Amino acid sequence: MDPRQVLRQVFGYEDFRGPQAEIIAHVLAGGSGLVLMPTGGGKSLCYQVPALCLAGTAVVISPLIALMQDQVEALRQAGVRAAALHSAIEPQEGRAIELQLAQGELDLLYLSPERLLAGFLERLEGLAIALFAIDEAHCVSQWGHDFRPEYRQLGVLAERFPAAPRLALTATADPRTQEDILDRLQLREGRRFLASFDRPNIRYLIRDKGDVKNQLLAFLAERRGEAGIVYARSRSRVDGFARELRAAGFDAVAYHAGLEAEQRRQALERFRRESGVIVVATIAFGMGIDKPDVRFVAHVDLPKSLEAYYQETGRAGRDGLAAVAWMVQGQGDVPQLRRFIEESGAAEEQKRVEQGKLDALIGFVEAPGCRRQVLLRHFGEELAQPCGNCDLCLEPDRTMDLTLPARKALSAVFRTGQRFGAAHVIDVLLGGDTARIRQHGHGSLSVYGIGRELDRGQWRSLFRQLTALGYLVSDSDMKGGLRFGEEGLVKPLLRGEAGLALRLPPPAKEQRRSGAGAAGSGSQAGGTAGLPEGVDPELVAALKAWRLQQAREQGVPPYVVFHDRTVLEIATRRPADPEALAEVSGVGAAKLERYGAAVLAVVAGAIGATGPPP
């Protein structure tokens, strides 16, 4: 069958996205290669469509059981003959699958690398293999963050199956990891497909850290009923935030390595299978979650690096609908993170690498321009225009000439001896009366009380930016104490030879008002309140209720039945007959046959009220 026909009939999608068409054509012509596409970019179709166009079975190697299971369920819903073999499959079911395979009755077979290498290669050798897809291919490399030794041996596929196309796919591989993948998987002859790493539907919002709990609750207030992830750094903070959210009436579960395996499994299951669950997690959570309708990812602590930030935020909005990546950041985080690195016991070189990564992250957080431009630049991609969908684009006019306050800040650091942290120096600038000021006689300094034009929060932000830009240095062995950075930077500013434009948060009094406004604009894109113009929220709710019921009966996640995107489109178009329903993106032939009548009935209002609430 022609690939476009497969796309329409089986998956119910109108057109290929980005480089999909090119990749599929390449594979259908017998080519191999490496595909780098961001999360949610649509990697799966790159091998699923060829699997249905070519004769024989496509073998997909995947390291994650949950992910395999989801994909197999979704494919079966679309009427595709798919199965998975891994450690969680009962022996009896396994034998049935192997029989199907031998008889050529499988379009796709998902295998763990262990299973493949433990004697399964021989079994595949006599069969017609359409292609091999190696998912999460970065696992091949020690440079990547999820090295799996078995992946290294997958190079044998090239020798044992020279005729079968091999496609390696990943969402995270820096150039070094890419080289490793090409070498290890013997893909040097193949092509490299790089999609843009931009995720335009994700709105990046970064807020100055205040009372985090209340900031988070305010952010979530607009998002009741939506699924999301809240990342915190430590187990105790995870437990604490999960408790606070539950107390505020949110359906929140904790997830970290300190919990029993069974508790973790349940948290994961609920998150995947129910709608509107919030997982509060350490970074241990997320790998292998391909839930498409995660509407927000919130960081209450800074992530480790920009790579980690990109990956963690990338779990939002895989379905392409509006999603929000929200983060609070404060100066207090940075010395602590630096200390973690210093005390990690890693080799010196490794520590330097980690410190460098942290610097890049701070630079991103503090940079005065468009978030997306800075983020993509870090990954080697230039975005020509500011994105219009990050806090700095949406709330412009936030940089101003702050040369004078910056000079005052530097002078105060100098006059107090370049050894105090920002808090004390700010006390001096504001003319405070603290024990420390009295103890050190700082009340008599020329800089005492010269900074009353800004409030404390504004000064804090200014110090943070001066630090991020290198004017001030905060050494971990100084316990957060500040000293001057490079002379070439500091001197011209102090002498009045150079100016400085920085961002300034609104004064504390106004913060509440404008804060609410900003939260409101965020929800427009992400919240259920942000349904497209003219869509009946009751119909959406009825369709979701029906979907949840279906999902429960079949024991699959709701999005396997229909994605949110499809539900919204149905509610928008209000199809009256099967032909009109078939036009909706995500409604393929199998789903039309299976669910068409029921969906049309919901649309017609026949059973809308009888389902459970969503």
Binding site for ligand ADP (CB under 6 A): 13, 16-17, 20, 37, 39-45, 290, 292, 318-319, 563, 585
User: Between residues 77 and 467, which has the closer beta carbon with respect to ligand ADP?
Assistant: 77
Burial 32-67 (b: 16+ CB within 10 A, else e): bbbbbbbbbbbbbbbbbbbbbbbeebbbbbbbbbbb
| Distance in Å, CB of 235 to ligand ADP, minimum | 28
| Distance in Å, CB of 209 to ligand ADP, minimum | 31
User: Between residues 37 and 429, which has the closer beta carbon with respect to ligand ADP?
Assistant: 37
DSSP 282-303: -TTS-TT---TT--EEEESS--
**Interaction partner, residue 390 (ligand ADP, Zn ion, none; CB < 5-8 Å by kind):** Zn ion
**Interaction partner, residue 44 (Zn ion, ligand ADP, none; CB < 5-8 Å by kind):** ligand ADP
| Distance in Å, CB of 303 to Zn ion, minimum | 19
* Residue 51 contacts Zn ion per CB under 5 A: no
Query: Segment contacting Zn ion (CB under 5 A): 71-79, 116-124, 391-399, 434-442?
Result: 391-399
User: Between residues 45 and 205, which has the closer beta carbon with respect to Zn ion?
Assistant: 205
Query: Segment contacting Zn ion (CB under 5 A): 11-19, 368-376, 444-452, 600-608?
Result: 368-376
* Residue 370 contacts Zn ion per CB under 5 A: yes
State residue 510 phi and psi, 5-degree precision: -85, -10
DSSP strand pairing (57-61 vs 129-134): parallel
Residue owning tokens 């001066």: 466
* The pair of three-digit structure tokens given for residue 389, joined into one six-digit string: 């969908």
* Residue 387 contacts Zn ion per CB under 5 A: yes
DSSP strand pairing (296-299 vs 323-329): parallel
State residue 273 phi and psi, 5-degree precision: -100, -15
How long, in residues, is the chain?
A: 614
| Distance in Å, CB of 75 to ligand ADP, minimum | 11
**Cβ partners under 8 Å of residue 396, min gap 6:** none
User: Between residues 38 and 286, which has the closer beta carbon with respect to Zn ion?
Assistant: 38
**Interaction partner, residue 304 (ligand ADP, Zn ion, none; CB < 5-8 Å by kind):** none
| Distance in Å, CB of 318 to Zn ion, minimum | 21
**Interaction partner, residue 231 (ligand ADP, Zn ion, none; CB < 5-8 Å by kind):** none
Residue owning tokens 């935020």: 313
| Distance in Å, CB of 40 to ligand ADP, minimum | 5
User: Between residues 367 and 551, which has the closer beta carbon with respect to ligand ADP?
Assistant: 551
Task: Note whether 379 and 197 are within 8 A (CB).
Answer: yes
| Distance in Å, CB of 128 to Zn ion, minimum | 49
| Distance in Å, CB of 174 to ligand ADP, minimum | 18
DSSP 66-116: HHHHHHHHHHHHTT--EEEESTTS-HHHHHHHHHHHHTT--SEEEE-HHHI
* Residue 372 contacts Zn ion per CB under 5 A: yes
**Interaction partner, residue 372 (Zn ion, ligand ADP, none; CB < 5-8 Å by kind):** Zn ion
User: Between residues 351 and 573, which has the closer beta carbon with respect to ligand ADP?
Assistant: 573
Residue type at position 179: E
**Cβ partners under 8 Å of residue 262, min gap 6:** none
| Distance in Å, CB of 14 to ligand ADP, minimum | 7
Query: Segment contacting Zn ion (CB under 5 A): 39-47, 57-65, 148-156, 392-400?
Result: 392-400
User: Between residues 393 and 425, which has the closer beta carbon with respect to Zn ion?
Assistant: 393
> CA 215, 218, 222, 226: dihedral to nearest 10 degrees?
60
**Interaction partner, residue 393 (Zn ion, ligand ADP, none; CB < 5-8 Å by kind):** Zn ion
**Interaction partner, residue 41 (ligand ADP, Zn ion, none; CB < 5-8 Å by kind):** ligand ADP
- Sole binder of Zn ion in the list 27, 89, 393, 425 (CB under 5 A): 393
| Distance in Å, CB of 374 to Zn ion, minimum | 9
* CA–CA distances in Å: residue 446 to residues 257, 373, 451, 460, 497: 52, 41, 11, 20, 22
* Residue 390 contacts Zn ion per CB under 5 A: yes
Sign of CA dihedral 70, 75, 81, 82: negative
CA atoms of 464 and 474, how far apart (whole Å): 10
Residue owning tokens 């024989």: 56
Residue type at position 423: A
For helices 348-366 and 333-342, the axis angle rounded to 10 degrees is 170
Which residues of this chain interact with Zn ion, rule CB under 5 A?
370, 372, 386-387, 390, 393
